[in-house]
Structure 1
Amino acid sequence: MEAHILVVDDDPAIRELIREYLAENDFKVSVAETGGDMDRVLGAEVVDLVILDLKLPDEDGLAIARRLRESLDLPIIILTGRKDEADRVMGLELGADDYVTKPFSQRELLARIKAVLRRTESKREARRGESVRAYLFSNWELNTGTRRLKAPAGEMVDLTNSEYALLVAFLRSPQRVLTRDQLLEASRLHDDIYDRSIDVQILRLRRKIEESPNQPNLIKTERGAGYYLNSSVETK
């Protein structure tokens, strides 16, 4: 699933420059001019990282960084024209994950974004899992609140805890091959379950969602590597 970056900067040229460059590199990008605009985006979207200018028209950037860290624990890269070392130190002490001064290299900013996302990947996945109300795939719908699966024809399909956890692991990484070890980790199944038990769980899941479990179209086997979900996924 692509990462969602929120750029908060009062300079429209900077916002557009970053938006276009990150979009070209397969990121979803939203932009905001003020702290209030930022809050509206955060209230409506699942955001994975905030690029934050310190000088905004309605609220001090350091104050925003403080409340983002306290309320959402979002990764933050501070982007500012301020070169004062005291500001940089204070920003990092408030919990910013990195600090970039203007003018900046787009390639360097991209590298820093990727580095921060790698360091915070586990938190990002947990935050996305908590925020998603439902996954939609191949006319199926998995409700994360009730843990019920609705088939394309409308009937409800009951899932065991392990089947649900395994399906969510696939839905979080659609069309990506996952090894047995990755599936054990992603689905948070107990450590004392042998990796081959994943094969059994996948067979049981296939019996519930595949028209022909012996010739699966949704959960495919990549011989010698693992399994992958052969479907695009939307969330709501």
Structure 2
Amino acid sequence: MWCARIMKARILIIEDHPPLARAMRRVLLADGYGVEWVSSGAEFWRRYRAQGADLVLLDLNLGAEDGMDIARDLVANTPVAVIMVTARGKTEDRIQGLDTGADDYLVKPVVLDELRARIRAVLRRQFGAGEDRIQIGPAILMLTAQTLLCEESARSLELTAAETKILAHLMRRVGRAVDRDTLLDGHVWEPGNRTADVHVGHIRAKLRSAGIGCLRIHPVRGIGYRLDVVRN
């Protein structure tokens, strides 16, 4: 199931060097991904808002635009995964890029087979391939058991299938806004057409009732929700 979903992933390339962009697009289309290419930040935001994406390949040197600023906006306000593909190869550049919240950092010249492997690795994490537990700080979500544990307080709570999958989405993108459409995609749907807001409300109530304070879910206006870890 996860493998099929990965191969249907939508990838948006931001790259102002046409030969490299065309080469990446050609290889990724051959792998079965949906691929779009833009050459500027303004064009990227128009395309992303219109069509969305699962993964962004982001060049950092875009003329007058700085890809780091785009990355910060993406991490703060969207659920999309980000791989930086750039000529900036200094250690401090890599650290800065990863500290923005990017999922990976690849230095040019690009080896296309390595790029393909890194994309698969990021998408496996993005879609939760093969995992049965997710741990963020002291919080452990057991997917099959549909149970959340908090190591600090030694407390636990039981969740429904939909609540488990919604919480898994939030934990995989901890610190980032996750939109409602993502929370209610085919992997978190259950009969009854209950909204993401209802499910999230139930999760928040269960966290309070169980006295589990290591996770907090915050609404993000106009987008959806963000999960934060609370450390003592």
Give the TM-score normalised by structure 1. 0.54
CA shift at 1:35, angstroms? 0.5
Aligned partner (choices 98, 101, 107) of residue 95 of structure 1: 101
**Hey, what does 2:33 align to over in structure 1?**
27
How far 1:131 moved relative to its partner? 6.1
- Aligned partner letter, 1:27: Y
How do residues 1-236 of structure 1 correspond to structure 2 at under 5 angstroms? 1=5, 2-122=8-128, 123=169, 130=181, 162=191
Structure 2 distance, partners of 1:132, 1:99, is 27
- SS of the residue corresponding to residue 162 of structure 1 reads coil
Structure 2: gaps of 5 or more residues = 129-168, 195-232
More strand by share: 2
Q: Give SS of 2:11's match.
A: strand
Residues 59 and 86 in structure 2, CA contact (< 8 A), matched pair in contact too: yes
Shift of the alpha carbon at 1:74?
A: 1.7
**Does the 8 Å contact 1:35/1:58 carry over to 2?**
no
- For structure 1, the residue ranges without an aligned partner over 5 or more in a row are 136-146, 148-160, 166-236
Over the matched positions of the two proteins, sequence identity in percent amounts to 35
Question: Is the contact made by 2:28 and 2:116 (CA closer than 8 Å) also made in structure 1?
Answer: yes
Contact 2:59-2:85 at 8 Å conserved across structures: yes
- The 8 Å contact of residues 7 and 31 in structure 1, kept in 2 or not, is answered as yes
1:46 Cα offset (Å): 2.4
What does residue 142 of structure 1 align with?
Answer: none
Give the Cα–Cα distance (whole angstroms) in 2 for the partners of residues 118 and 131 of structure 1. Answer: 16
Q: 2:134 corresponds to which residue?
A: none
User: How many residue pairs get matched?
Assistant: 141
Structure 2 CA distance for aligned equivalents of residues 89 and 134 of structure 1: 33
Distance (whole Å) between structure 2 residues aligned to residue 101 and residue 5 of structure 1: 19
Q: Report Cα offsets for 1:186-227 as digits up to 9, x if no partner.
A: xxxxxxxxxxxxxxxxxxxxxxxxxxxxxxxxxxxxxxxxxx
Amino acid at match of 2:18: P
Cα RMSD (Å) = 2.9
- Work out the CA distance in 2 between the residues paired with 1:162 and 1:33: 42
Question: 3-state DSSP class of the match of 1:120?
Answer: helix
> Helix, strand or coil for the counterpart of 2:101?
coil
Distance in 2 of aligned mates of 1:12 and 1:118: 28
Answer with 92-101 or 55-64: which moved more. Answer: 55-64
**Greater CA radius of gyration, 1 or 2?**
1
- Structure 1 residues 115 and 134: CA distance shift in structure 2, 3 A: closer
Residue 75 to residue 15, structure 1, CA distance change in 2 (3 Å): same
